[in-house]
Amino acid sequence: MFAKILIANRGEIACRVIRTARRMGVRTVAVYSDADAGALHVEMADEAVHIGPSPVGESYLRGDKIVAAALATGAEAIHPGYGFLSENPDFVDQVTAAGLVFIGPSAASIRAMGLKDAAKRLMEKAGVPVVPGYHGEAQEIVLLASKAREIGYPVLIKARAGGGGKGMRRVEHPDDFSEALSGARREAKAAFGDDRVLVEKYVEKPRHIEVQVFGDSFGNVVHLYERDCSAQRRHQKVIEEAPAPGMTPALRKAMTEAAVKAAKAIDYSGAGTIEFIVDASQGLKADRFWFMEMNTRLQVEHPVTEMVTGTDLVEWQLRVASGEKLPKTQSEIALSGHAFEARIYAEDAARGFLPATGTLHHLKFPDTAPEGASMRIETGVRTGDAISPFYDPMIAKLVVHGKNRQATLEALGISLSQTEIAGSTVNTAFLAALAADADFSAGDVDTGLIGRHQQALTAVPPPSSEIVAAAALAASGAGAQAPTRDPWSSLAGYAHFHAMARRTRLRYGEDDILALVSMQPDGRCQVALDAPYDSALDLRAAPRLARWPGHVTVFSGAVGYSFAVPDPLARADEIAAGADSLRAPMPGLVKLVRAAKGETVIKGQPLLILEAMKMEHTISATHDGTIAEIATEGAQVTDGTVLVRFAEEAHG
């Protein structure tokens, strides 16, 4: 076994590899860019090496820098994770030329599966079923259009290089073929530097089912059953599961045998995934699946396979790369229960799943799994980390395992509803809606499901009056929203003869909201709101919420409603400019008085310190003048209370 490995990646997959390596007694070296200097994977690794600026082309895609870092730190092998250089055969050659071990397949195996057209020709030779289509080298438009007519419309034009839905066009009619081909070529050229395409029959109700395979250097290849990755948006996976719903024994046998055959055809060693497209229009049948492509690396969704087979695929990778045989034979690998993985992203589902950025001011995952289930969180971020525009906006993968599909799906929904993230727009509400979707719940899923139901899945109901009231209560500083109450917050509800009211302003989207918050003597919090919300609400139970700079987020199920809270101190000058008094911009305690009645002060001079919302705020003179009255130290004041009054003759 290796003594030390370098991980040529970042984020959650780097953290994932480090955890297994640590358990096995293998030391780890992390690499990082400028943007990742304080990242979790850097903190977790035994050593870390800076490899360049934030853009991936200057850091994580610089194979020379990564190899140099491995040699400088004494690492014996490099784990590529997924993405970046994980399927780059030239990088594998760099690694092996330096006398290091690449924890993955050979460069030859990667090259064999790197281009879709060549891979499909290879699979046809190996007896693996492929989608009816044209996978040849000729690229003349007349030939491609002719092949499309032979195949029969609708057809799918696909870039032969790359993936992720780039360079892909569905064509319904011959008249649209030329324009679709031009668009696919342009996109493929921009994304992969290769504008060559293949043309295939479009499967009307496609399921994306893939098989996890694993090989060693002794010629052994096993499968670890299938995963269903049909729940996709923009050709990107959203929720994956294992095993595939509705899978029949006949189809499983045919598909897993084909996957093993495909891996053996290229002398495969390490973790890999054979992806198939399945026609589910008449149910799952053993003669209605076709090879799509092979991913010659560990998949993002590998945890669901680990959960249902009781394996650690990263451990297998390390063992096989170090020269050991596969840890288990095929007969020793069994399925147990069901697992789901939900990819939690910083993205705006309602705006076409646009990636989002921001700082994760609040990040809280469920403490325990729902009853009868187990759960794991795969993440590379912590509270306070920023979602960078330079990299994939994944925050975490929430993985649950249970005894059967329905129980596990319910556990997934519960876990998503208990996840709290504030500081960036996230997709937890969308994921929860998808988990609760009637078709998805029934296992009637195909790659078009999200597109057909997108409006319903991405719609977020407006905040209820209770949610708005909770946000107003938190923004006002009233009540015990902090984990520990100090003596001053215990006075929050005290006032002589009547309840003390606090005016609070909020902004939700384009809506400005004014609330009046009062603490009742019996401990109730009463919030009065303007229309269209309820006029008065009593709040007794503490809501789930997070305060972060300038905002309050209230959590309701899997939805996080974020309200902007205008800075009352920013309004202080506005309130006081040209006036003969300074008023409290928020409720609080006069902690310290620095001036006295009759004293002449100058503009900008600190006059007193107001303690509010667990922070001290300095109130300064807004103009030169003489103080006629000033609040007393220790006074509890409300929003708008006069703190300082200037003598009229002194104001100019």
Catalytic residue annotation: 297
Alpha helices for 222-356 (secondary structure H): 249-265, 302-309, 313-321
Cα(622)–Cα(23) distance, rounded to whole angstroms? 62
Classified as helix, coil or strand, 281 is strand
- Six-digit token string for 412: 């997934």
In which residue are the tokens 């998805």 written? 440
Q: Is the CB of residue 620 less than 8 Å from the CB of residue 605? A: yes
- Six-digit token string for 342: 């939900």
What DSSP letter does each residue of 407-441 carry, written as one string? HHHHHHHHHHHT-EEESS--SHHHHHHHHH-HHHH
Alpha helices for 45-86 (secondary structure H): 63-73
Q: How many residues does the chain have?
A: 652
Bond from prior residue into 585 cis (ω within 30 degrees of 0): no
The identity of residue 292, as a single letter, is M
CA 437-431-506 angle, 5° bins: 115
What DSSP letter does each residue of 356-385 carry, written as one string? --EE-SEEE--SSPPTT-EEEEEES--TT-
In which residue are the tokens 């490995």 written? 5
Cα separation values, 142 from 177, 194, 224, 464, Å:
10, 20, 43, 59
Cα separation values, 219 from 4, 122, 269, 630, Å:
26, 19, 8, 87
- Six-digit token string for 117: 């057209």
Q: Is the dihedral of CA 381, 387, 389, 395 positive or negative?
A: positive
Classified as helix, coil or strand, 522 is coil
Write the burial class of residue 67 (CB in 10 Å: 0-12 exposed, 13-18 middle, 19+ buried).
buried
CA 287-292-294 angle, 5° bins: 125
Q: Is the CB of residue 156 less than 8 Å from the CB of residue 201? A: yes
Cα(343)–Cα(266) distance, rounded to whole angstroms? 31
Which residue pairs from 120-125 have beta carbons closer than 8 angstroms and sit at least 24 positions apart in sequence?
A: 120/198, 120/291, 122/265, 122/266, 123/262, 123/265, 123/291, 125/265
Cα(101)–Cα(50) distance, rounded to whole angstroms? 21
- Six-digit token string for 80: 């590529």
Cα(106)–Cα(93) distance, rounded to whole angstroms? 9
Cα(251)–Cα(354) distance, rounded to whole angstroms? 37
